[in-house]
């Protein structure tokens, strides 16, 4: 069982994750990229919030201009060693201008939360044992950074150049 963490607190999940062979319920849904591509017109015509779940090998540019019609993009971490979702999140925020929710799902580590936040993630599906205090600790672990990211935080180099 997982819990949803948003804005530093646990939140109710307004979205239902729907399998490719399951009928669409009323309300907000998260579907696979394959289903979104196959049923694009039907999904967009529903006029309800839509989310798309991308596997780690699915580039978000495949969403095209529809990216700005989505409310949520869930990026999958199939195992903690697979970091492609970090790149996809940053691409969504910086290149594609995505303003909706970017949700981390799957197998990621406590140590990765701060990096996920920096590149644009703003929601996490976490295990039941995970606490808000653990999340806040993870975000506070890095006070200074070396690389620019989607969060706009000044790098050490920029701070020194002042």
Where b means 16+ CB within 10 Å and e means fewer, 133-157 reads eebeebeeeeeebeeebbeebeeee
Residue pair 131/138 in contact (Cβ under 8 Å)? The answer is: no
* CATH code of residue 43: 3.20.20.70
The total domain count for the chain is 1
Say what the pTM is: 0.89
- Domain that residue 28 falls in: 2-160
Residue 57 pLDDT more than 90?
yes
Model confidence over 19-30: pLDDT tens digits?
999 999 999 999
pLDDT at 158: 82
Tens of pLDDT, residue by residue over 94-140, are: 999 999 999 999 998 888 888 899 899 999 999 989 899 988 888 88
Contact of 63 with 119, CB cutoff 8 Å: no
């Amino acid at each position: 069982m997982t819990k949803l963490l948003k804005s530093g607190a646990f939140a109710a999940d307004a979205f239902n994750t729907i399998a490719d062979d399951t009928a669409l319920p009323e309300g907000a849904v998260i579907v696979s990229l394959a289903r979104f591509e196959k049923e694009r017109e039907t999904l967009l015509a529903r006029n309800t919030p839509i989310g798309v779940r991308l596997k780690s090998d699915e580039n978000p540019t495949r969403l095209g201009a529809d990216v700005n019609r989505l409310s949520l993009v869930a990026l999958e971490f199939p195992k903690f060693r697979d970091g492609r979702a970090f790149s996809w999140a940053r691409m969504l925020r910086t290149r594609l201008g995505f303003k909706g929710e970017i949700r981390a799902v799957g197998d990621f580590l406590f140590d990765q939360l701060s990096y996920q936040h920096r590149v644009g993630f703003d929601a996490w599906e976490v295990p039941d044992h995970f606490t808000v205090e653990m999340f806040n600790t993870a975000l506070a672990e890095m006070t200074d950074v070396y690389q620019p990211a989607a969060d706009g935080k000044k790098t050490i180099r920029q701070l020194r150049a002042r």
